[in-house]
A and B are shown apart, each in its own frame.
Chain A
């Protein structure tokens, strides 16, 4: 056969039927191409891989493999085309002879037009690199990126499961499929960097699939790092699509070298983290990677509690129900409209004409409509709910990395990862989870010898669980480590001037100190308290979601973070309160109780600071009407009502005129026109069609406490206006 070209191959692949004659012809072409010295090394390697795929393909799967091969061919053609162009640009001083390609008018011709420009794949030489081909189809890329990210998530979960159960064939297939699909699609889109990387990662997986190697130790590390790298490439691609410049992730070449030939780079089933670390040392977060003395790979328990992780992930690969991708913007709009419908409906059913007119028939129709509307509301809410599986998997990965970095032995148990939560909240939950798990693994779990000395099991345990409780989602993260060190926290807090003394502080109060912003962000704290790095982030994010976080800790026995979140952000359970002629909505989650104080319970401090005593507990009294400048409010607390808000000993009594009732409201922003308003988290349309303002209780309390500095700013603002 006179030296075939890639185009010949492409044409054959397209025309291929599952006959043996076709099979052998393609085999011949592949062999010829793989050995063709006129082709560049990379293309020949691609052909070699294709050859392996083709020969290994069972008869009935040949058509499918042919499709895969087509994508390899396109990738190879792109590369050749690129060589041609480069050669023209550089005046043909390439060392290898440029293969001449006959452009046969085959059906492939249309595919061939998808060419890369100046996208040199092997960038070791530092040649001008571009992530995106010049003629990239920008409309396809976002879908590709989103899809690939999802695939990577599945792959990562499967990888973690695989490490615990190396014989899990389904997990291998999940990972393989992920890399394979990414490779194919990226080749189609001429994203050569992604293609190249995914290709080699896939090769490793195919070896795992063929039971040549086992995906443990160094290979598992490598596979995970490959996931990271592809993710970084996707991020970079997205940046490029959005016009924020094209940067190849650092460490790409190094990692690619390792992936391309793992054994030469010291990767084996036994450990091998060292060489990966070396190879990826150039990465931005190099400092946080394991060094040569990193823990051996067996930091993860063989079976043990890992069973639940594996159990959860095995399902991930299973066939999912058919779904439709919808733009979140549309979904949000729909949910918003349903919210409106709910309000409009209640306005009708509350209308005096309807309620008092004795129109039985009308009432029946309205209550029928009401039922439908409620169901619609439930349904639309459910549309936005996603299981917590995603963030939980990230934590699983993080536990693994943190443990191997610190040389500790930690097992991770996840429970209730099918618990659903508003999609919008999942993103916010990521950060707090990261910080909490860092605390647990870095500081909570003791090193192995310390655990042994304390008579604990050598393998530490981090448990992440989620469940529904009384209309909230509860996420708990617990460890069986050393627990919070009260003395250290107190010492540090006193040093930082957060507290004067620890007198009268309950353990809970002390634990709460680690959430103080100053306490945790100061760099000097990191090695002292052991807890609290970034913990202010945890509280801030959780509170931004109108949730609460609390800590339970016992010295020597471990720490548990309990996060309570509302089911959804879109609907707030609120208490409508009246202050003078104004009304406000106080999120129910903030309210502990409300009471009308007896005269004797009231007292003042220094003639100004008001306090109220409730069940032997003295708390400050904040007059909402004063903070908000309401003129016609009730001044006398005994004629009004006090709402107890805040948590722990931070409880505060908020003075309002009266409670108007509890209701669910759809939270909305106040519009961009007035920016951020202190102590108000948003607005909601009330039953009478007017806007009610939703209080941000924590901000309100801060404002009441430190109001003057803020008030000063406002007076300046007014003066300027």
Chain B
């Protein structure tokens, strides 16, 4: 089961799941994203809509002179848009791409041990779980650990091509 570093593929080895996570809320659900991928957290800024992009692309903002796209995670996950709060933007940087993610509330930074991470159970076709690294249990709560690389690479793929490549989609080994 151990992947040697020499054979490390662009997809993150499952063992790397343990570590520090920044957690945030989308509606009532609490998500976590690897702290190393987080560039900064900024307050809400006026977003310029970009026409003719997928609906989960909210638009672009001016981040100190740089134009970066903003992704709507709720839309991405097909969640209900119930008058969302949207208090801030988490700027993540993955493989050189900077991108903002609109969230309702940033919660805390958690240290999550490998033992606390459960593989994502299947919910059938109803729920898309491919963006999840796993479910973390701590303090009696469940946090959904995001595979932010996949969220991003998929959004990129959608913008240029319709069908995502499937080799990066092998299910997590249990």
Contact = CB atoms under 8 A, between A and B. Distances in A.
Contacts of B66: 668, 671
B156 A714 contact: no
A685 B156 contact: no
Interface residues of A, number: 39
A242 B27 CA distance: 48
A453 to B, nearest CB: 55
A690 B55 contact: no
Contacts of B140: none
A679 B48 contact: no
Given A671-B67, A691-B60, A693-B48, A721 B97 contact: no
A720 B163 contact: yes
A705 interface: no
B67 A669 contact: yes
5 contacts: A628-B51, A670-B60, A671-B66, A680-B52, A721-B56
Given A671-B97, A721-B54, A692 B48 contact: yes
B89 interface: no
A674 B57 contact: yes
A189 to B, nearest CB: 32
A343 B68 CA distance: 18
Nearest to A583: B48
Contacts of B107: none
A671 B48 contact: no
Interface of B: 46, 48-57, 59-62, 65-69, 71, 75-76, 96-99, 152, 155-156, 158-160, 162-164
Given A683-B60, A693-B50, A720 B67 contact: no
Interface in A650-668: 668
A469 interface: no
Contact of B50 (A340, A668, A670): A670
A713 B53 CA distance: 11
Nearest to A629: B51
Contact of A691 (B48, B51, B76, B97): B48
A74 B123 CA distance: 71
A599 interface: no
Given A675-B160, A676-B159, A718 B69 contact: no
Nearest to B59: A691
A384 to B, nearest CB: 18
A339 B46 CA distance: 21
B62 A673 contact: no
Contacts of B67: 668-671, 682-683, 685, 691
A673 B71 contact: yes
Contact of A674 (B46, B65, B159, B162): B159
B50 A677 contact: yes
Task: Identify the 10 closest CB pairs spanning chains A and B, nearest first.
Answer: A675-B159, A628-B51, A673-B69, A673-B99, A691-B48, A683-B67, A340-B65, A674-B69, A675-B160, A672-B97
Contacts of A630: 51
A1 B69 CA distance: 77
A718 B61 contact: no
A713 B159 contact: no
